[in-house]
Amino acid sequence: MLTKQILFGSLVVLLAGLSCSRENLLTLPAPAPAIAGTYVSLPGTLPLPAAGDSVTVTLTSVASDTVDVFVQAMQQGQPVTTQRYRKLPVVQYIEGAVQGTNCINYLIRLKPGTDSSVFYMTCRDINVLQYTRSLERPYYTGRAARFRKL
């Protein structure tokens, strides 16, 4: 009886594998390299992740789904504060039918396991990283600092 169950299970797995052709597979870009880069705060955006009149955020890809985050605040052109966050996971969210196409949103929690502070990028704003202190679901709403990619 156990042999029949193993044989049947193997047959199901084999048929399932054959039913998915390579043409039907969705290949997503690696999230960390997709958003890696240096971003500079846009004037008048609040809340900033560090105190200063401008902030630079550098995302460095350390794995396909992991980044190091370096935040540097400047006051009158001089560095005043720096913060480092190491090996943070980058989460991808697929959003359907935005302007007729599917798109990918990215999310980095500065304190994984909480919803306190996040960097995120939506496909509505190309090369614009946003920061907020709370993540409201299902969409990011409320005040957010905005950073343009250099």
| E strands present in the chain | 37-41, 54-63, 66-75, 78-98, 101-109, 118-121, 128-132, 145-149
pTM confidence score: 0.76
Torsion angle of alpha carbons 12, 15, 19, 23, nearest 10°? 110
Other CB atoms within 10 A of residue 78 CB: 8
pLDDT at residue 99, as a whole number: 55
Q: Where are the domains of the chain?
A: 31-149
pLDDT digits (tens, 9 = 90+) for 25-69: 666 778 999 999 999 999 877 778 888 889 999 999 999 999 999
